[in-house]
Amino acid sequence: MSGMTPSKREPLSLRERGRGEGGGGAVPFLTDAPLDLPALLSEARSGDGALCLFVGVVRDHNEGRATVAIQYEAYGPMAESEMGRIADALRREFPETRVRMRHRVGRLSVGEPSVAIAAVAPHRAEAFAACRAAIDRVKATVPIWKKEFHPDGSSDWVDPTKHSEVEGRL
């Protein structure tokens, strides 16, 4: 066993349970309640000149099949800590921008907001850039999964990688 010992992993007992940052403050990232978009829109302060709000909503089709609902599932504590990591990185990269992120879990109907990202900054360029970076990273690494339900009652787990090496649905 040569040198592969994990060095910095902490046992869970030593770790604060779920940092619950959601990008800032004490509000968790994940919620099973409808997303509070007005609260995100009120994030701007007097020195801010731009608020960029991205809202992802449930679409009625995906890859040629009709969708009636999506069930979102998360590895909750890890999703919260992964979000904290993304928020920390965004703070370093966009020091003048504040980013708030919220994601639904549970079953959502077509048209319901599933994710919301607000980026607030003195100017629009940073707000757009931080908002885009935030949603891209959320989709890439936060452990959240979605199952699409079709009109005939069948369902599929969405697999964004399935066009590469892993074919089909597992």
Partner 1 sequence: MRIELLHFASFREAAGRDRESREIADGTRVRELWSSLSREVPLFARFPSPPPAAVNREYVPPETVLRDGDEVAFLPPVAGG
Which residues of the shown chain bind partner 1 in the complex (CB under 8 A)? 1, 4-6, 9-13, 15, 56, 72-75, 77-78, 81, 103, 114-115, 135, 138-147, 157-162, 166, 168-170
Return the number of the residue (13 or 46) whose C-beta is nearest partner 1. 13
Residue 57 backbone phi and psi in degrees, to 5? -125, 155
CA distance 111 to 148: 14
Least distance (Å) from partner 1 to the CB of residue 10?
7
Quickly count: other Cβ atoms within 10 Å of residue 62's Cβ. Answer: 15
Least distance (Å) from partner 1 to the CB of residue 146?
5
CA distance 47 to 127: 13
Return the number of the residue (115 or 118) whose C-beta is nearest partner 1. 115
Return the number of the residue (96 or 156) whose C-beta is nearest partner 1. 156
Least distance (Å) from partner 1 to the CB of residue 152?
19
Return the number of the residue (98 or 104) whose C-beta is nearest partner 1. 104
Return the number of the residue (121 or 135) whose C-beta is nearest partner 1. 135
Q: Give the position of tokens 């920390």.
A: 88
CA distance 142 to 70: 17
**Cα within 13 Å of Cα(105), Cβ side:** 15
CA distance 74 to 57: 17
Quickly count: other Cβ atoms within 10 Å of residue 144's Cβ. Answer: 22
Dihedral, CA atoms, 96, 80, 166, 157, nearest 10 degrees?
Answer: -110
Least distance (Å) from partner 1 to the CB of residue 94?
20
Least distance (Å) from partner 1 to the CB of residue 157?
4
